[in-house]
Structure 1
């Protein structure tokens, strides 16, 4: 039951967290790190919220829907921040974040 309700959202959150961690690490290796500061900050916050959402969904927590709403907000902000940069890791992160927004919003809406 828990698996069916949350499976695609947990998968999207996991992929997003990995993409965000990868993006943040890659951004720190870029020549102009200061230019990527907002992107890195969003990556870290988004990854943390995605991981929390995963854990709460796995537990079928009554807070899972609310955390997914917040996660969608963080993912949208991260998608916008990363989408401004042409680095492959930023573009891949933005795509993963956008997929996570769709899944988290659907779950939070009761779909």
Structure 2
């Protein structure tokens, strides 16, 4: 990957991590937290994976392609889960997750 491609991937990963963390926090404040359990769970998984991949890219890990494939799978799952909920934070998170999944597939 070129430096510019790396920079764009890092930006996309970071934005997805932030969106997932925001969604996670907002879901915990919803009236029916139990209904949001799967959303909260996938938000955490996705944010953590994006942060890990972001670190791997910055240290030029030899496993970036493999990690990017895993990250794409997790982002896609999180996007699908968040998409089920009408909350603005969930819809924004879904959008960020789908964009990140696409970027990760390109990196894989």
TM over 0.5: yes
Q: Shorter-normalised TM-score: what interval?
A: over 0.9
- Residue correspondences, number: 108
* CA RMSD after TM alignment: 1.1
- Look up the match of 1:47: 47
2:96 & 2:104 partners in 1: Cα distance? 12
Please say if residues 23 and 43 of structure 1, whose CA atoms lie closer than 8 Å, have aligned partners that are also in contact.
yes
SS of aligned partner of 1:26: helix
1:3 & 1:87 partners in 2: Cα distance? 36
Q: TM-score, normalised by structure 1?
A: 0.94
Please say if residues 15 and 96 of structure 1, whose CA atoms lie closer than 8 Å, have aligned partners that are also in contact.
yes
Deviation at 1:21, TM superposition (A): 0.3
SS of aligned partner of 2:30: coil
SS of aligned partner of 2:61: coil
1:5 & 1:28 partners in 2: Cα distance? 35
Regions of 4+ moved over 6 Å? none
Please say if residues 2 and 58 of structure 1, whose CA atoms lie closer than 8 Å, have aligned partners that are also in contact.
no
SS of aligned partner of 1:60: coil
Deviation at 1:10, TM superposition (A): 0.9
Tell me whether 59-68 or 74-83 shows the greater mean CA deviation.
59-68
- Look up the match of 1:10: 10
Deviation at 1:7, TM superposition (A): 1.4
